[in-house]
């Protein structure tokens, strides 16, 4: 029986995403499980990277209130960092910056405040960068990226709670290429040459593509909109999942 997956996932704005490999894809600052999700392509050692948190003081200037040093490896997927102490009460606005180990800022995101960009206090690691605004949530909802053009969804529970239980990554050497997809075509590679049953889900959990393909056959997604999708592949009674970005 086919396993149905409901995925709510988010993506980064065009101006930043295509020049970097790691980005913030989910912010949960009001729910029971507060934290930040990072997503990326390739393999990135996150040891020494930081998430720096800010609150709005006056005008568009935000001051640093906390920072979390990261660790672990992000490999063609995403990684969740639980941060129970994340602030959710500053009504004037909050912000988070993703900072590389060498101190270079990756991005600034504003939330829980005015719909405007901000800069951080001079002397901080992210000084000189301009933020984007993600929105505001309440209760058991998180902020999730929805498209490569910088869309945000603030009306859904966290991704973890909306993903059905499926055994992942059973297929050896499973990969999608190219990812991001830029010309509407990609291939699925695995260690074996079995036929593959492919299902592609939108961020709302709707099946937007289904086909059984042969080894190395091109998958045509030219009719799909720009954004993030989940690709499920069944091969020889094994199942694997991977996120796919269509540009």
CA-CA distance, 130 to 125, in Å (whole number)? 13
Report d(CA 119, CA 62) in Å as an integer: 6
Domains detected in the chain: 14-155 (2.60.40), 175-246 (2.60.40.3080)
- Specify the pTM: 0.58
In this predicted model, what pLDDT tens digit does every residue of 4-42 receive, in sequence order?
A: 332 333 333 333 333 447 888 899 988 878 889 888 777
pLDDT tens sequence across 196-216: 999 888 765 678 899 999 988
- The answer on pLDDT for 118 being more than 60 is yes
pLDDT digits (tens, 9 = 90+) for 141-192: 899 887 645 678 888 888 764 433 334 457 888 899 999 998 999 999 999 8
Residue pair 41/179 in contact by the 8 Å Cβ criterion: yes
């Amino acid at each position: 029986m086919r396993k149905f997956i409901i995925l709510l996932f988010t993506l980064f704005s065009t101006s930043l995403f295509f020049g970097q490999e790691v980005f913030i894809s989910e912010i949960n600052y009001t729910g029971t499980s507060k934290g930040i999700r990072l997503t990326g392509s390739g393999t990135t050692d996150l040891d020494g990277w930081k998430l720096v948190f800010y609150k709005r003081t006056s005008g568009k200037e935000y001051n640093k209130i906390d920072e979390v040093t990261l660790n672990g490896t992000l490999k063609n997927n995403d990684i969740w960092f639980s941060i129970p102490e994340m602030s959710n009460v500053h009504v004037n606005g909050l912000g988070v910056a993703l900072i590389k180990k060498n101190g270079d800022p990756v991005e600034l995101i504003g939330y829980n405040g005015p719909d405007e960009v901000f800069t951080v206090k001079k002397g901080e690691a992210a000084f000189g960068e301009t933020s984007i605004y993600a929105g505001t949530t309440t209760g058991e909802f998180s902020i999730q990226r929805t498209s490569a053009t910088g869309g945000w969804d603030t009306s859904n529970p966290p991704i973890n709670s909306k993903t059905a239980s499926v055994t992942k990554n059973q297929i050896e050497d499973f990969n999608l290429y190219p990812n991001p997809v830029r010309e509407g075509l990609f291939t699925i590679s695995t260690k074996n040459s079995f036929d593959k049953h492919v299902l592609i889900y939108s961020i709302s959990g709707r099946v937007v593509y289904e086909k059984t393909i042969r080894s190395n056959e091109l998958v045509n997604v030219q009719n799909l909109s720009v954004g993030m999708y989940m690709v499920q592949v069944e091969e020889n009674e094994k199942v694997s999942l991977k996120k796919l970005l269509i540009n």
